[in-house]
């Protein structure tokens, strides 16, 4: 657990859950438990409608607050969408891009990913770019090919100088919200293939700045074991990030 190359990063994705009061309660509790933020980075990805209120509470603490999606343009006739600058304006400092629910429920294609990642960086938002294979793709031994395709699309407009601002989250679709976690071997293998691709694409030095998180049914019971995998730099947590009782032990995975 010591000698980590990169600062651990634990992020909660609230998806379309909680309400305004519960969101404010939860952010207050998380903020109260964070130290100075030197030993780990913690962030929550909040329904956009609550972002202004949540970021106001988080202000002055090391807690990062982000949106769950963006469109890549900064203005225009895009009903229902949010520009990166709008998230910035309400205090967000980061954003999820390509979450599996965006890809698979809302059919967002690979071709959008590069533009979204670039737009996030240009608006000074820190992106977490999510990648991961479906169960059929895993069963068909296509995991590495799928990850490569998604990485190529997302990093299309990214340069080595951007690397330190980008995080990749490996989230096997079959492990999200299902209670099924990938095995340590599966996680390690996927993370290593992502790291290898990053090195080829960005060069050693820049690639080593990119953190790779694991996401998919992370719980207080498995957080420590997942964080013990050398290739895992952090965790992206969905369901278990909705309650302090389950999210705090994950943040403090190394303190029990
Ligand atoms: C997620 O939303 O990114 C996620 C990993 O969800 P869960 O932890 O509920 O599987």
pLDDT in tens, 161-195: 999 999 999 999 999 988 888 899 999 999 999 99
Work out which ligand 1 atom sits closest to the CA atom of 96.
3
pLDDT recorded at residue 35: 84
Residue 171 annotated among the catalytic residues of the structure:
yes
- For residue 236, list its beta bridge partners: 11, 215
- Nearest C-alpha neighbor of 150 from the set 127, 162, 168, 135: 168
Please name the residue that has the structure tokens 């799928």.
146
The answer to whether the beta carbons of residues 23 and 50 sit under 8 Å apart is yes
Centre of ligand 1 from the C-alpha of residue 75, in Å = 30
CA of 21 to the centre of ligand 1 (A): 22
- Nearest Cα neighbor of 156 from 105, 180, 121 is 121
pLDDT of amino acid 196: 98
Q: Is the separation of the CB atoms in 86 and 118 below 8 Å?
A: no
The reported pTM is: 0.97
Which residues of the chain, if any, have pLDDT below 70?
A: 1-3, 256
Residue 3 confidence (pLDDT): 61
Q: What is the pLDDT of residue 2?
A: 46
Joined together, the tokens standing for residue 212 give: 């790779």
CA distance 86 to 82: 6
């Amino acid at each position: 657990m010591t000698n980590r190359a990169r600062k651990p990063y634990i992020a909660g994705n609230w998806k379309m859950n909680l309400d305004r009061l519960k969101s404010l309660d939860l952010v207050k509790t998380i903020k109260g438990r964070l130290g100075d933020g030197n030993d780990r980075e913690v962030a929550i990805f909040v329904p956009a409608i609550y972002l202004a209120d949540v970021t106001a509470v988080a202000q002055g603490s090391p807690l990062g607050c982000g949106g769950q999606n963006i469109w890549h343009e900064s203005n225009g006739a895009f009903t229902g969408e949010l520009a990166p600058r709008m998230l910035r304006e309400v205090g967000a400092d980061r954003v999820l891009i390509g979450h599996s629910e965006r890809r698979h429920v809302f059919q967002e294609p690979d071709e959008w990913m590069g533009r979204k990642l670039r737009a996030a960086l240009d608006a000074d938002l820190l992106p977490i770019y999510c990648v991961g294979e479906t169960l059929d793709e895993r069963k068909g031994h296509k995991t590495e090919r799928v990850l490569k395709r998604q990485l190529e699309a997302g990093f299309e407009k990214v340069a080595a100088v951007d690397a330190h601002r980008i995080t990749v989250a490996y989230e096997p679709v079959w492990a999200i919200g299902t209670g099924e976690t990938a095995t340590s071997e599966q996680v390690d293998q996927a993370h290593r293939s992502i790291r290898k691709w990053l090195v080829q694409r960005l060069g050693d030095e820049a690639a080593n700045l990119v953190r790779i998180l694991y996401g998919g049914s992370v719980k207080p019971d498995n957080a420590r074991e997942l964080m013990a995998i050398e290739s895992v730099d952090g965790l992206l947590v969905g369901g278990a990030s909705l309650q302090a009782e389950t999210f705090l032990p994950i943040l403090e995975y190394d303190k029990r």
